[in-house]
């Protein structure tokens, strides 16, 4: 049994993987959010 089983971290790792698949890359999401909020120059 690994540390992920004891702490429930495997759910977080699966969620992170799914979010990366659905949202593409975090950098692109941050860039788009910055543009929408007016932080682009």
For residue range 11-41, list pLDDT tens digits in order. Answer: 888 888 888 888 778 788 888 899 999 987 6
| Entry pTM | 0.45
pLDDT of 2 reads 60
Q: Which of 20, 19, 41 is nearest to 31 (CA)?
A: 41
Q: Which of 41, 40, 23 is nearest to 31 (CA)?
A: 40
**What is the SS3 string spanning the chain?**
CCHHHHHCHHHHHHHHHHHHHHHCCHHHHHHHHHHHCCCCC
């Amino acid at each position: 049994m690994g540390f992920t089983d004891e702490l429930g971290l495997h759910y977080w790792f699966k969620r992170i993987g799914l979010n990366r698949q659905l949202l593409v890359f975090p950098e692109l999401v941050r860039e788009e959010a910055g543009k929408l909020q007016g932080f682009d120059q």
